[in-house]
Amino acid sequence: MTSKNEFGEIQRKNMEAAMRLAQISIDNSQRIMELQSRLARELFENSVEQAKIQAESKDPQNIITLRARYAQDTAQKMIAAAQQVAEIGNSARVEFSRLLTEQLAAGSQDMVDAFQSFFKALPGQNTNILDAMQQAMTNANNAFEQMSKASKAAFENAADAAKKGPPPRARK
């Protein structure tokens, strides 16, 4: 295969990977929009129901109790929705990371192979250039893996914090 064809194949693979990443992004955006839509509908229905119940109540203390319960239920639903959004984001991050790692590993080998073919075709071949390029690719792969691990740890910590909820408020 000529270098031109090899680089064309690398470009095609990169485009396919970009399309997969875009599809994951679209799918996760749709999941979040569905979650938000469902939550908005539930909150609206609950507020209408709550307004009817409070309008029927004649006892001011009961109305205060109903409002407090409604506020607590609404807050719990909002926190649960935020946790679900965080989980969707985390799963998307994991999938992005997996695909990018695969693409980087496969792409770097394809690139090395293409450059090997290219450099072999050059007059007065210099193996130092190819060795330096392979080392640079290895270093890039290692750096990406380290960044991926650090990103995964950060997102897991954020997801754990979201699951725990907000810190308790200090009383005055």
DSSP output for 3-17: HHHHHHHHHHHHHHH
Best mean pLDDT range from 12-16, 18-22, 42-46, 59-63: 42-46
Amino acid at 94: V
Tell me the mean pLDDT in the region 13-28.
84
Report the SS3 class of residue 56.
Answer: helix
> For residues 30 and 123, what is the distance between their CA atoms, to the nearest angstrom?
54
- The band of 1, judged by pLDDT with boundaries at 50, 70 and 90, is very low
Question: Looking at residues 48-60, what average pLDDT do you find?
Answer: 91
Q: Return phi, psi of residue 168, to 5°.
A: -65, 145
What are the tens digits of pLDDT across the range 80-129? 998 888 888 888 888 877 777 777 666 666 666 666 665 565 555 555 66
Helices 60-121 and 3-56, packing angle to 10 deg = 180
What is the structure's pLDDT at 19?
86
Among the listed residues 166, 169, 172, the one whose alpha carbon sits nearest the alpha carbon of residue 76: 166
- The predicted structure's pLDDT at residue 18: 80
* Residue 172 pLDDT grade (very low, low, confident, very high; cuts 50, 70, 90): very low
Higher local confidence (pLDDT), 12 or 112: 12
pLDDT at 8: 76
